[in-house]
Amino acid sequence: MGLSGIEIFKKLPKTNCGKCGVPTCLAFAMKLATGQAELDACPDLSEDVKEELGEASAPPVRSVVIGTGERAVKLGGETVLFRHEKRFENPPAFTLLLSDNMDEAEITARLKKFNDTVYERVGVVLRPELVAVKAESGDASKFGALVEKVCNETDAGLVLMNEDADALSQAARSCSNRKPLLYAADKNNFESMGNLAKELSCPLAVKAVNLEELSEVSEKLIAMGLKDLVLDSGARTAKKALEDQIIIRRAALLKKFKPFGFPTIVFPCEMADNLIKETMIACQMTAKYGSVIVMSEIEGHSVFPLLLASMNIFTDPQRPMAVDQKIYEIGATNENSPVLITGNFSLTYFIVSGEVDASRVPSYLLIKDTEGLSVLTAWAAGKFAADTVATFVKKSGIEKKVKHRKLVIPGYLATISGELEEELPDWEILIGPREASHLPAYLKQWSAD
């Protein structure tokens, strides 16, 4: 933060080699300044320059990575309080809590469910990301065995929770290559915990009973040279948690208060006696600044809505979500099924496909790439003009799938129908309803003849 594009440019190699994916060093510098590129994309920077620029361009909430490889989860990195001010960067990691007091079969079943729970929406993979292993038995060997089991049965990142520093150290050493989050350093043990995290290069959670204490312990750990911290303010009620999360984020952003410049860990699992209520609290924390959100169970009816909320809140407001350009077959289509066309704004796709689905009339939905713009905006911007629509229809392969030649266009685009008929002489252009909600009625009376 703070360095301008020009200031960054001065430190770059100025070779315009393009290896970073941007044609010139100046353009790359501009992207760095607005947070749209990562320093690591440039292969020719010296370590010194990297460090210098890294410090200067670091977001006020540090990015912390838990886990490794494909399942590494990046948290924090936030630069705003409200998503409309720019965007939120890294969605929260919904985390399954397992205790070393649970019986083996229960643990196996919960882990399996955790692993199986993966959704895809608009090309984005949504899943619970982390497993927290908590010591409750008081038996270090039981804890160690559970950590080992979890490591064997999932690639996901881990949170190791143990108040016994020796037991935690032992378990952490056994899986430090997985970069687990160590939970937690507090005002009494921060020195040994800090040293352990430093030695193993693992992120470290900081736990306190209130914000005051949290800032003190965090500050001491920073002074010890710790960089990757995750904060637990100790709040265990919805109201207090909301307050603390807001204050932590504000202090980091508005006051550049370093001890709070880290992602947070929150525990809905300790704040409710049933999963449904826990889900409500987790939703609150998704909107207001939780990063690691620990849940007592992962169940589809709970985590799926939470992942939707997270996806919504973390969508970049400046870049609408888009789906792929192609033919979507809804229901058991055949050569006499209706053919509809619309734009690829994800909301358009979801609503139109939902209504087609509800109509129970199997249909082909052609989604044309409109760069994520809604139908009317796309038309105004020339992305839904008759000639480009015609090219897409011809190339899509739909002519091989249906015998008829009737194409339903959105009601709002009635105006292009004449031109489209000229561009697609074999096709009859039908003007569909203006609102998607009228599609079921429309499709029910549609006929290929």
Applying CB under 8 A, the residues found at the interface with other proteins are 82-84, 116-119, 121, 211-212, 215, 219, 237-239, 242-243, 246-247, 250-251, 254-255, 257-260, 276-277, 279-281, 283-284, 287-288, 299-302, 304-306, 308-309, 311-313, 315, 317, 347, 350-351, 353-354, 357-358, 433, 437-438, 441
CB of 104 to other proteins, least distance (A): 24
Nearer to other proteins, 280 or 448 (CB): 280
Question: Using CA atoms, how far apart are residues 196 and 269, in angstroms rounded to an integer?
Answer: 27
CB of 317 to other proteins, least distance (A): 6
Nearer to other proteins, 72 or 118 (CB): 118
Question: Using CA atoms, how far apart are residues 66 and 434, in angstroms rounded to an integer?
Answer: 47
CB of 185 to other proteins, least distance (A): 17
CB of 300 to other proteins, least distance (A): 3
Question: Using CA atoms, how far apart are residues 210 and 58, in angstroms rounded to an integer?
Answer: 27
Question: Using CA atoms, how far apart are residues 372 and 141, in angstroms rounded to an integer?
Answer: 53
CB of 79 to other proteins, least distance (A): 16
Q: Do residues 230 and 221 touch, judged by C-beta distance below 8 A?
A: no
Please say whether the dihedral angle defined by the alpha carbons of residues 294, 298, 299 and 305, taken in this order, is positive or negative: positive
E strands, 63-175, where?
Answer: 63-66, 73-76, 93-99, 119-121, 124-126, 130-134, 157-161
Nearer to other proteins, 116 or 387 (CB): 116
Nearer to other proteins, 169 or 302 (CB): 302
Nearer to other proteins, 119 or 412 (CB): 119
CB of 219 to other proteins, least distance (A): 6
Nearer to other proteins, 234 or 433 (CB): 433
CB of 174 to other proteins, least distance (A): 32
Nearer to other proteins, 71 or 113 (CB): 113
Question: Using CA atoms, how far apart are residues 50 and 181, in angstroms rounded to an integer?
Answer: 25
Question: Using CA atoms, how far apart are residues 221 and 200, in angstroms rounded to an integer?
Answer: 15
Q: Residues for the chain: how many in total?
A: 449
Question: Using CA atoms, how far apart are residues 143 and 134, in angstroms rounded to an integer?
Answer: 8
Omega before residue 105 within 30° of 0, cis: no
What distances in angstroms separate CA 153 from CA 161, 372, 402, one per listed residue?
A: 18, 39, 47
CA 346-352-353 angle, to 5 degrees, is 85
Nearer to other proteins, 165 or 272 (CB): 272
CB of 266 to other proteins, least distance (A): 15
